Structure 1
Amino acid sequence: MRMVIAAVLMLALLAGCSQPIKRKDGASSARTFSLGNLAKAEADMLTEINQREVLKSLRLLTEKLYRRNPQEYRKAGLDSAEAATQQLFAELDHWPESVLARLDWERSFRQSFDESYAGDRVQSFMAGLLSMVMAAYEHKREFYLVDELDAQKLYNSARNVETAVWKLSTARQAGGARFLLSNSIEGEVQNLSFEREFAKIIALQDLLALYVEDRSNRSIARVVQGAASFVFLPI
C-alpha cells in the first residue's frame, strides 16, 4: 500500500513540476492525464507523437493544395480551403468506422491523375495519402504496451509518399496543364514549401520504421523503387 501511495505522489509531483511547451502556433505540449497513460511505454508515446506530427503535416498540405487549386473544393460545393480540409480530417474523429479506413488508397491516388475524373482531385489525392499512412499505423490513434507496429509497413509508406509526390510534381494532362498545382510553375517565384512538408513526413515515417525495426529485431526489406513507375508498395 505504501508503494502505491508513493507512486501516486511521484506522478503528482512530476505532473506539477513539468512545464508544457508553448509552440509558435499557440498550441501546447501539455497532455491531459489519463489512467490509460500508465499502460503506455515510451515507445507508445513516441509513436503517438510521430503520428500526430505526420497528421499535422498532411492537414497543412491539404489546405495548401486547396489554396493553390480552389476549383477542386468548389466541385464539392464548398466555399473555402479550410472547409474542405476540415471535412476530410473530420474523418479521424471516427476513424475505425470511417469510409476512409476502408478506402482503396491506391485507386484513390490514381484517380487524382485520371483525365476523365470529374471529382475533387485534391480530396482524392489526400484521402489516399491519409488512408495509406493510417494503414501503416494499423488504423489506430492510440498505442499501448500490447500494440505492435510493422516496421516494413512504415518503411513502405515512406516510399509510397515519395512516389505520390513525384507524380504530383510531374503529372500533366494531354494539353500540358498540371493536374494539380503544388510547388511553383514557370515564371513564378520558387516555392518549395510543399516539398519540405512532404520530406518531413517521409523522414518521420523512416525514423519510426528504423526504431520499430531495432526494437522488434525484425529487419526491413529495403526496396529500390523507381518513383517514375508510379507503383506503390503494399501496406
Structure 2
Amino acid sequence: MLVKRLWLLPVLCLGLMGCAQSPGERPFLLKNLAKSDIDLVADAHVEEVTRLAHELTIKLYQRNPRELRKGPPGMTLERRLALLFDRPRFITHSELDYRYGVDAIPLVFDPDFDGDRVFALMVGIGGMLHASYNYRHEFYLLNEIDQQKLYDSARNLEIIVWRLSNRKNPQGELFLLTNGWDEQGVANLSFERLFGKLIAHQDMMARIVSDKTNRTINKTVFSLATTALFPI
C-alpha cells in the first residue's frame, strides 16, 4: 500500500502544479505525459492549419456568396462550418457524390458541377490536410506521421492556388473568386497570404518529422499547370 501511495505522489504533485499555474499560462494536462515533443508540435500544427482553413472558408463564402445558395435549402455559413470542422469530422457528403480530400477538388473546376464549389474546395483542402495527419486531431507516443504526406499536401495546395487563379469556365470566368482588386485598384492578397501560411505550416511539419525520424522527403520537380494532385 505504501509503495502504491508513493507511486501516486508524483502524479498528484503534477496535478497540483497544473492547478496552480500563473495567470495567462496554459493549464497542465495529464494526457500530455503520454506525448513526445513532436506530438505536442504536431498538435499545435493541426490546431493552426484548422484555424487557417476555417478562416479561408469564411473568406471564400464572403467573396463568392452565390455558392452558399447552391447547397441544400436553408443552408447557412454556420452549418457549412460545422460540416467542415466539427469533431468527429464528417467525411461523407452526398452532395459531393461522397468525395473527400483530394478526390473532391476536381468538382471545383468541373463545368458540369452545379453544386457549392466553395464547399467542394474546402472538403477537398480540409480532407487533404486531415489525411496528411493520418486523420488524427491529436497525437501520442505511438502515433506516426508521414513526412511525405505533409510535403505532398503542401505541393497540392500550390497546384490548387494556381488552378483557382487560372482555370475558367466556358464563359471565361474564374470558377471561384479569390484575390482581386478593390475600387481604388489596390490588390487584395489576403487569400494568397492564407494559402501561403497553410503551405508553410505543412512544409515545416514535414521537415520536423523528417529530421526527427531521419527519413528523407522525395522532392520531385513538377509543373503547377500540368501536374495532377498528389494522392494523400
Contact 2:92 2:100 in 1 (8 A): no
Q: Which amino acid counterpart does residue 199 of structure 2 have in structure 1?
A: I
Contact 2:17 2:28 in 1 (8 A): no
**What's the counterpart of residue 87 of structure 1?**
83
Structure 1 residue 89: deviation in Å?
A: 2.1
**What's the counterpart of residue 194 of structure 2?**
197
Contact 2:156 2:229 in 1 (8 A): yes
Candidates 116, 122, 125, aligned match of 1:129: 125
Structure 1 residue 74: deviation in Å?
A: 0.7
Distance 1:80 1:32, change over 3 A: farther
Q: Distance in 1 between matches of 2:27 and 2:198?
A: 23
SS at match of 1:201: helix
What are the within-5 Å matches in structure 2 for residues 4-43 of structure 1? 4-13=8-17, 15-20=19-24, 30=26, 33=29, 35-43=30-38
Structure 1 residue 219: deviation in Å?
A: 0.6
Q: Which structure has the bigger radius of gyration?
A: 2
Distance 1:222 1:31, change over 3 A: farther
Moved more, 121-130 or 4-13: 4-13
- The reply to whether residue 51 of structure 1 matches residue 55 of structure 2 is no
Structure 1 residue 107: deviation in Å?
A: 3.2
Q: Distance in 1 between matches of 2:81 and 2:129?
A: 17
Contact 1:40 1:143 in 2 (8 A): yes
Count of matched residue positions in the alignment of Structure 1 and Structure 2: 222
Q: Distance in 2 between matches of 1:197 and 1:6?
A: 43
Q: Distance in 2 between matches of 1:143 and 1:67?
A: 34
Q: List runs of 5+ in structure 2 lacking aligned partners.
A: none
**What's the counterpart of residue 70 of structure 2?**
75
TM-score where L is the length of structure 2: 0.86
CA RMSD of aligned residues (A): 2.3
Q: List runs of 5+ in structure 1 lacking aligned partners.
A: 22-29
Percent of aligned pairs with the same amino acid:
36
**What's the counterpart of residue 177 of structure 2?**
181
TM-score where L is the length of structure 1: 0.85
SS at match of 1:228: coil
